[in-house]
Structure 1
Amino acid sequence: MGSSSLAIEVNLQDCYSAPNSIHPDTWNQWFASWLEILQPQTPAALGWEVTLRLTDDREIQTLNRDYRHQDRPTDVLAFAELDIDSPLGEGLESEPSYLGDIVISVETASRQAQEQGHPLEIELVWLASHGFLHLLGWDHPNDEKLQEMLSMQEQFLKNIGLIS
């Protein structure tokens, strides 16, 4: 399949710009490297677009309630735009394809990072990689699929040098 690129739009709420030291260009590089890892399994396209929104517990709880019918905060939500499993029509190779939105609660990520004893940056990237896999059609309906997903996330973080 042809080479793909990934454009990413990073939306940050003002109150979360301080703890997030990850530059939008860095996010773009990381997502692009993950896409390269998955390249043999990913349809060819001129490019891929993803929106990453870093928010708070209040907003993610509203989204979780409205879209998943679970009225509580969560760490990450992924809203896929493209059904990666369906037959792909013409045009994917002629224009960028919008994969969807990843929304991460920085408040929940911060708590989880503290509980696990690692920096917030690692938790944010871990959650972004999880959401990214969901956008590409990965899911974890059982323990075996969850382990596959977690292993790929670990590979992603190793690939960008955040873990060894």
Structure 2
Amino acid sequence: MTIEVSNESGIEVAEDELIGVARFVLARMDVNPGAELSMILLDIEAMADLHVRWMDLPGPTDVMSFPMDELEPGGRPDAPDPGPSMLGDIVLCPQFAADQAAAAGHPLAHELALLTVHGVLHLLGYDHAEPEEEKEMFALQRELLEDWYIEQAARHRRDRQVERDRRLLDRSSDFHRRPEGL
């Protein structure tokens, strides 16, 4: 899966975390592993401009999604299996997200992970214009984000255990050395 990040926001963010959460969601949603996704991080002014041009809404917003290929379930039975596709672009505004994170009392990294999940779900056809759509999308968004955090914690524990094991093995090799003169 190819995920490219272009940070034009002027704010340093952990791009590897954004890629990680996007990759997790795409895999969990069973998207073809050859699919491509682009993430663009913009400043407040550029995001406000996009928001007006594409949504006809004033001011900046936190995330916008621009699907590229039309994803359709099913299709003709004699059609070849769909291959990888360009899913589209997710545009994030870290400065706007930072204000939301502060108001919600959580770190910017969490807000950006949440917005990444939200943006990916929009690319996959989920919406929240109607109450039932909102209920479905936001429940899935919560579940995916929670599962990603659980996976991150498990990976961290595994990495720490591997490091402890390596240090123990390094120390145990000292016991197997013969003292000089024997």
Shorter-chain TM-score range: 0.7 to 0.9
Q: Is 1:12–2:3 an aligned residue pair?
A: no
Cα 1:90/1:71, change in 2 over 3 Å: farther
Unaligned residue ranges in structure 1 (runs of 5+): 1-5
CA contact (8 A) 2:69 2:87 kept: yes
Which is richer in helix? 2
- Alignment length (residue pairs): 149
Q: Is 1:63–2:66 an aligned residue pair?
A: no
Residue identity opposite 1:92 in structure 2: P
Candidates 6, 15, 36, aligned match of 2:27: 36
Candidates 141, 144, 147, aligned match of 1:153: 141
Aligned to 1:121: 109
Residue identity opposite 2:121 in structure 1: L
In structure 2, C-alpha distance between the alignment counterparts of 1:35 and 1:14, rounded to whole Å = 24
CA drift of 1:28 comes to: 3.0
- SS in structure 1 at match of 2:92: strand
* Greater gyration radius: 2
In structure 2, C-alpha distance between the alignment counterparts of 1:127 and 1:142, rounded to whole Å = 19
In structure 2, C-alpha distance between the alignment counterparts of 1:119 and 1:46, rounded to whole Å = 30
Candidates 91, 111, 119, aligned match of 2:99: 111
CA drift of 1:85 comes to: 2.9
Cα 1:109/1:46, change in 2 over 3 Å: closer
Aligned positions of 1:46-61 closer than 5 A: 47-61=34-48
Cα 1:101/1:70, change in 2 over 3 Å: same
Q: Is 1:141–2:129 an aligned residue pair?
A: yes
In structure 2, C-alpha distance between the alignment counterparts of 1:46 and 1:103, rounded to whole Å = 21
User: 1:118-149: CA deviations, max 9, x gaps?
Assistant: 00001001111111001011111212211211
Root-mean-square deviation (CA, aligned residues, Å) is 2.3
TM-score by length of 1: 0.80
Aligned to 1:131: 119
Unaligned residue ranges in structure 2 (runs of 5+): 154-182
Aligned positions of 1:70-89 closer than 5 A: 70-85=57-72, 87=75
CA contact (8 A) 2:2 2:35 kept: yes
In structure 1, C-alpha distance between the alignment counterparts of 2:56 and 2:125, rounded to whole Å = 21
CA drift of 1:50 comes to: 0.8
In structure 2, C-alpha distance between the alignment counterparts of 1:127 and 1:28, rounded to whole Å = 12
Cα 1:152/1:46, change in 2 over 3 Å: closer
CA drift of 1:37 comes to: 2.0
